[in-house]
Structure 1
Amino acid sequence: MSVKHEERRDQLAESALRTLGERGYARTSLREIAQHSEFSHGVVHYYFHDKTELVVHAVRYYKARCVTRYDGVVADSSTAQELLDAFAAKLVETVLDEAPMHCLWYDVRAQSMFEPALREAVTLIDRTLEEMIWRVVSRYAELAARPTALDPAAAYGVLDGVFQQALLAHVAGDETALPRLVDQVHGLMPLVLA
């Protein structure tokens, strides 16, 4: 594919993310994505065979930017406590700034259990998110001068679970969700150390 073709696919993905984030995977069609963008249904269909292909591209496009979100926290922290505080603050920031995109991710991830066409992309994205979290956990362990007690998959599972619960509570209007997330991260991170 040409660079111009890929750029147009990325533009369509960016446009689709807004609609998908508002409506969710199951409630959104290619036609609705086109109606809520500057692109016609024909253009959307020209660049993407079906909704699944567009959703996979859009979520990959979004998550490719997300996986570097905590790199600054890792690079800039000089103590374990500093890293812990900055990581918790960044988690809260991402819920506040990008809740619809995170909701879409969890929606697509759940749908992948029923739609084989989504599984490969979801598995790949999940692996990159696990690696992102492991960079944080590894640096925390290094700064604390202690080995980790969990493997990368377990550490990701624990922190992702807490994040997902906080996101759900936040979108449901629970004002205690984000302070509770900060407290949970502060309580859990020491437990990942041996």
Structure 2
Amino acid sequence: MTDVAETKHDRIARRQVDKFEARRTQLATDALHTLAELGYARTSLRDIAQNSTFSLGVMHYYFADKRDLVTQAVRQYEAVCVTRYDEVVARATGADQLRDEFVEMFFDTLAEDAALHRLWYDLRNQSLFDESFRADVLEIDGHREAMVWRVVSRYAELRGAQVVSAPGPAYTLLDGIFHRALLHHLTGRSEDVATLRTELPNVMDYLVDGPQ
């Protein structure tokens, strides 16, 4: 009877944890667009509550503070982004297909989700000044780096080539292009964005060495 009772207790505890995490996920998703529109510094939990169906008290119950909510929201969005690129890698049967679909995804998400990407860079910049952000930012950045490495490695494999860069520099190069393209997009400099889009395939080729 004791073992059965403990098993039931464990199941109930797990369900409670699952419900708590599910609600955190829902709240963070609802908060994303407010955060993306106003940025980290100009957004309070009260602002987020006013733009959602949840009260400020509920926000405080599920999140320790604004930092907790922001990092949760960014984590969720970045997980979706990584999945999109992994799907490109999974369905590619040739190097040209992978490169072209990666470039298309790269610039499409930049335009469609510009405010959300801006929020990520805002959070990353905050971590330079606020130590409490750094562990989360480094973890998210690590996921992004691993995603880029999967793309570049698979591209090299499909070309029968080798990657000429380590994961960190490869990610830094592509992330730098994305950041610059995002800035030009937000500034309305469409011609500069188009130039970067034209050059990105060449950058992909620069990262690998082998048969075309």
Q: 1:114 aligns with which of 121, 129, 133?
A: 129
Letter in 1 for 2:27: L
Whole-angstrom distance in 2 between the partners of 1:165 and 1:137: 20
Equivalent position of 1:21 in the other structure: 36
Q: CA deviation at 1:57?
A: 1.1
Gaps of 5+ in 1: none
Measure how far apart 1:145 and its partner are.
0.8
C-alpha displacement at 1:141, in angstroms? Answer: 0.5
Q: Distance in 2 between matches of 1:70 and 1:177?
A: 24
Instruction: State the Cα deviation string for residues 17-52 of structure 1 (Å, max 9, x = none).
Output: 110100111111111111111111111111112111
The yes-or-no answer on 1:32 pairing with 2:44 is: no
Q: How does 1:1-194 map onto structure 2 within 5 Å?
A: 2-194=17-209
The answer to whether the Cα contact below 8 Å between 1:92 and 1:181 also exists between their aligned partners in 2 is: no
Cα offset, 1:155, TM superposition: 0.4
Q: How many residues align?
A: 194
Q: Percent identity?
A: 49
RMSD between aligned alpha carbons? 1.2
CA distance in structure 1 between the aligned counterparts of 2:87 and 2:70, rounded to whole angstroms = 28
Q: Distance in 2 between matches of 1:178 and 1:81?
A: 21
Shift of 1:67: 1.3
Q: CA deviation at 1:179?
A: 2.0
Give the CA deviation at 1:72: 2.0
Matched to 2:65, the amino acid is: D
Larger Rg: 2
Q: Which has the larger displacement, 76-85 or 47-56?
A: 76-85
Tell me by how many angstroms 1:146 deviates. Answer: 1.0
